[in-house]
């Protein structure tokens, strides 16, 4: 699997929270050669199962993205929108967007608006329409828009919208490709609606009922300009092994297991602590009677902006670590 080609295909697929069908079909095609069965649930989670007789392991990477949803179309043709997930208005301003039907526009705001105090409610989309009637031929209330920018490579690094969390989806696909012989019963779940409250992971974890859960997502970095050391991972530092975020404190034995595997397999790794923000690990570890839960994260600069950045070497390290855990000797109790 060629990294850049696959990642470009993933980030190009339409899939805002609640409408993940297109990206789900792309992932299904890529995953099919490596698993025994693929299914979907009511929430839209894509569940890829590689059968085994041992403990049940659920890897989760959310496939949905943030976006904007049409709330009103003005008489002047400008489209009023609301957020799907954590949109940062000032960063989104003047970014090209596209809708599922192919309509395109650009995010704008009132010329008198104070950009430093901009709120999601201040954002509009300019479709190039001069009237409501013209705009209504292009979009409807309830339609969702996503950033419409290409992925670009900068040395070993990639700059692209929606690396949160299409980079995590790539990690699971690469891990599937790498996994050799194992008795573990493996579920690779590409979850829906993470950006609006980790909703898909909640139902998927209940259905799969795993013994172990691994959330694969991006994590903020401590090497952006002016970093305040509120997080611990750095871009290029390898796979970030989750210790905690605001939704989960990973069991120490899970952290130790992942760090030991990284050492044994000579996989570059670092510890991941963030004070704010969560992942699918939150609902997974609370499912039913509780699940031994860890996290493998890709350090990502400028997440939720139209131009995030990750290091492809970190992506590879995360895939190697996920595969190592999938192949490892596991017990019903950690």
Nearest CA-CA partner of 267 in 225, 242, 238, 305: 238
Identify the bridge partners of residue 145 per DSSP, sorted by sequence position.
68, 99
The CA distance from 196 to 61, in Å, is 14
Using the structure block, give the residue that is written with the tokens 């976006």.
Answer: 67
Whole-number Cα distances in Å, 72 to 78, 106, 141, 164, 319: 9, 16, 6, 28, 43
Q: Are 181 and 202 in contact (CB under 8 A)?
A: no
Burial of residue 91 (CB within 10 Å: 0-12, 13-18, 19+) is middle
Whole-number Cα distances in Å, 328 to 163, 172, 258, 264: 28, 16, 10, 11
Cα pseudo-dihedral 217, 333, 209, 243, rounded to 10: -20
Q: Annotated catalytic, 320?
A: no
Nearest CA-CA partner of 82 in 11, 145, 136, 161: 145
Cα pseudo-dihedral 104, 110, 114, 118, rounded to 10: -50
Secondary structure of residue 166 in the 3-state scheme: helix
The CA distance from 198 to 191, in Å, is 8
Which residue among the candidates 9, 20, 194, 195 is catalytic per the annotation?
Answer: 194
Nearest CA-CA partner of 24 in 45, 5, 2: 45
Q: What angle do CA 129, 133, 139 make, to 5 degrees?
A: 70
**In the sheet that 157-160 helps form, which strands lie side by side, from edge to edge?**
152-154, 157-160, 308-311
Active-site residue set:
194
């Amino acid at each position: 699997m060629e990294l850049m080609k696959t990642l470009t295909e993933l980030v190009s697929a339409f899939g805002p929270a609640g409408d993940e069908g297109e990206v789900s079909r792309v992932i299904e095609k890529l995953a099919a050669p490596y698993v025994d069965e693929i299914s979907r649930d009511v929430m839209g989670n894509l569940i890829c199962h590689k059968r085994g007789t041992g403990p049940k392991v659920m890897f989760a990477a959310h496939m949905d993205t943030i976006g904007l949803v049409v709330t009103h179309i003005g008489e002047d043709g400008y489209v009023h929108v609301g957020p799907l997930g954590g949109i940062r208005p000032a960063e989104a301003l003047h970014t090209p967007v596209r809708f599922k039907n192919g309509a395109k526009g650009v995010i704008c705001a009132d010329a008198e608006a104070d950009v430093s105090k901009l709120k999601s409610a201040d954002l509009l989309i300019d479709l190039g329409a001069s009237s409501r009637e013209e705009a209504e031929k292009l979009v409807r209330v309830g339609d969702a828009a996503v950033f419409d920018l290409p992925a670009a490579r900068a040395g070993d690094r990639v700059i692209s919208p929606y690396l949160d969390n299409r980079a995590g989806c790539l990690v699971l696909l690469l891990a599937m490709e790498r996994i050799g012989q194992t008795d573990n019963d493996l579920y690779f779940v590409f979850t829906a609606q993470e950006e609006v409250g980790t909703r898909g992971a909640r139902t998927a974890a209940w259905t799969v009922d795993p013994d172990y859960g691994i959330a694969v997502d991006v994590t903020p970095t401590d090497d952006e300009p002016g970093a305040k050391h509120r997080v611990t991972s750095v871009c290029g530092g390898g796979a970030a092994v989750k210790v905690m975020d605001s939704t989960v404190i990973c069991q120490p034995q899970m952290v130790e297991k992942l760090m030991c595997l990284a050492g044994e397999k000579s996989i570059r790794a670092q510890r991941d602590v963030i004070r704010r923000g969560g992942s699918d690990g939150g609902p997974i570890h609370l499912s039913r009677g509780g699940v031994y839960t860890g996290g493998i994260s890709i350090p990502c600069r400028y997440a939720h902006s139209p131009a995030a950045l990750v290091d492809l070497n970190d992506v590879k390290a995360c895939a190697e670590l996920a595969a190592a855990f999938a192949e490892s000797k596991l017990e019903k109790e950690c």
